[in-house]
Structure 1
Amino acid sequence: MITLYHLNRSRSKRIIWLLEELGVEYQIEAFQRDKETSLAPESLKAVHPLGKSPVIKDDDVVVAESGAMTEYLIDKYAADRLAPPRGTPEYIEYLQWIHFAESSAMVPLLLKMFLNKDGCKTNFLQAYADGEAMKILTYLSEQLEGKEYLVGNKLSGADIMVYFVVDMVEQSGGLAFFPVLDVYLKRLRTHEACQKAEQLEKELG
């Protein structure tokens, strides 16, 4: 039995989708953000020292970091369905998109979110965050031009990882500037497992 330690309004939503897509038996242990600080509760540190979510426990194996979880779960349960064959150019592309979602993409988007939440005047950071966010979203849009999915023209773990990025941009109102990404997000939401993840995230949030 897999346990997902879930935090509302977090990357955990993409792992719910993945678990639903895999069709494996799992349970969710839900945690709530502090209503004033929006931070994760201290109780999550009993699961992982960083007190972050998502974290999964698969029998005796504990895995943190959603990119690592995605690779681990797909390798174990659906390597023939949700990842290209190892040793192919498509597999290398797949890995790059998985890590893009949590490195190049998330850093400027989170920086923009924190700056907007803080409301402070900056000398450098706001312009930097805006420029970097525009750069990575333009890049993603260009790479998806004429394609339905990121790799091999079928759903993979790369799409499930990048889904959270595009979903986050939609929530900020930024997809109006990127019609290709808007279409892509709508396509991802046609998958029943994605719909189930969004429904569960709302119920748990």
Structure 2
Amino acid sequence: MLTVHHLGKSQSERIVWLCEELELPYTLKRYERLASNMLAPPEYKALHPLGAAPVINDGDLVLAESAAIVEYLINKHGGGKLAVPPDHPDYATYLYWFHFSNGNLQSIMARLMTLLRLNPAEDNGPRVATEARLALALGLVEQRLSKTDFLAGNDFTAADIMTVFSLTTMRYFLPQDFSAYPSILAYLQRIAARPGYQRAMEKGDPGMPLLLT
């Protein structure tokens, strides 16, 4: 039996969403962040040596890392649905955007979030460089979505599941004004209209306002 361990307001929302899109049977176990520091509770940290979300159990298997989990579930239980096969003309594009979030966007946002907690001056060198890098990454997403409905092309794929957290829930930790990115905002409305996304967010983070504008 597949069990998804979901930490509130975390990247594990990707896995809940994927299960809903693939219509997989799964057990959802929710964990709330500690009010004192917004970190995972001890029982979540005990699931995996890194103590970070997401984590799944599939029988005796314990698996972490959202990209690894997404690929595992698609290939093991999803029949390849929401992935793009190697013989498809958009395969390389899919691979790029699938890995773009954790490889660039999310890591830049996490770096900036950590820097801002130190309350650096606005002209602080690392802050300026990281803010510029984030603007560059968001500009790349904006440019892509001005041409296609979804990141890998006109069809929704796991590349979108990997990316949306950084454009939505991550803004609880690093507020962002997307008014300068109309294609991203239009994209988020397409995402919000998906029943699988709606079900996942209601199950995983019930009552949490979704940052889609």
TM-score by length of 2: 0.88
CA-based RMSD of the aligned residues comes to 2.0
Mapping for residues 75-90 of structure 1, pairs under 5 Å: 75-90=75-90
1:140 and 1:80 map into 2 onto residues whose CA distance is 25
Q: CA deviation at 1:115?
A: 3.1
Structure 1 residue 144 displacement after superposition: 1.5
Once the two structures are superposed, residues 73-127 of structure 1 have per-residue CA deviations (whole angstroms, 9 ceiling, x without a partner) of 1112334431122343422221221211111111221122233344243732210
Report the number of matched residues: 205
Other-structure match for 1:26: 26
TM-score, normalising length from structure 1? Answer: 0.91
Check conservation: 1:104, 1:136, Cα contact below 8 A.
yes
SS in 2 for 1:75: helix
In 1, the alpha carbon distance for the partners of 2:98 and 2:207 equals 26
Q: Deviation of residue 38 (structure 1)?
A: 1.3
In structure 2, do the counterparts of structure 1 residues 69 and 96 end up closer, same or farther at CA, with 3 Å as the change threshold?
A: same
- Offset of 1:138 from its aligned partner? 0.2
Relative distance call for 1:48 and 1:57 in structure 2 (3 A) is same
Q: Kindly indicate whether residue 176 of structure 2 is the aligned counterpart of residue 173 of structure 1.
A: yes
Instruction: Mark the CA change 1:169 to 1:2 in structure 2 (over 3 Å): closer, same or farther.
Output: closer
Find the counterpart in structure 2 of residue 111 from structure 1.
Answer: 111
SS in 2 for 1:150: coil
Identify the residue that residue 139 of structure 1 maps to in structure 2. 140
Say which structure is richer in helix.
1
Q: Distance in 1 between matches of 2:177 and 2:73?
A: 31
Unaligned runs of 5+ in 1: none
Residues 1:36 and 1:11: Cα distance change in structure 2 (over 3 Å)? same
Structure 2 counterpart of 1:200, from 176, 200, 203: 203
Q: Secondary structure at the match of 1:203?
A: coil
Query: Per the alignment, in what secondary structure is the counterpart of residue 177 of structure 1?
Result: coil
